[in-house]
Amino acid sequence: MAITSIFEILIYPGLHSRPGKEFVNICMEYESSVKIKMNDNEFDGKSFLSLIKNKPSQSEIIHLIIDGKDEHELMEKLINLKTMSHRSKEDFSSENEELLQVFRLVENE
């Protein structure tokens, strides 16, 4: 049975470039399927191309739907995901990167 959690994206500019690739690479380590629901779109969380096309941005609310035998382990890994990134556009402009939490858990469904 699939599990779903709702997250807010904390990093700037969002799940783009390197943070997006890290997200996909982590998801690929697990057998479970990963779907991201954002606005009215649902797309494959294991596809970097889908991620870039849909542009999950900072402060965006996304639903992660994970289904498979290792779904709980993967969800736990994503809840605690940290990456080198930026807090804001100003940090991005000044190239000020730091290790940041990627998501804030809004709700478990």
Among residues 53, 58, 55, 52, the alpha carbon closest in space to that of 89 is found at 58
Interval 57-83 mean pLDDT? 97
Please state the rounded mean pLDDT for residues 40-66: 96
Which has the closest alpha carbon to 56: 2, 19, 28? 19
- Residue 84, strand partner residues: 99
pLDDT at 47: 97
List the beta bridge partners of residue 36.
43, 64
Per-residue model confidence (pLDDT) at position 104: 96
User: pLDDT tier at 94 (50, 70, 90 boundaries)?
Assistant: confident
Q: How confident is the model at residue 93 (pLDDT cuts 50, 70, 90)?
A: confident
Residue 84 pLDDT greater than 90, yes or no? yes
The H-or-E segment that residue 74 falls in is: helix 71-79
In the block, residue with structure tokens 């943070």: 19
17-28 vs 71-79: helix axis angle to the nearest 10?
160
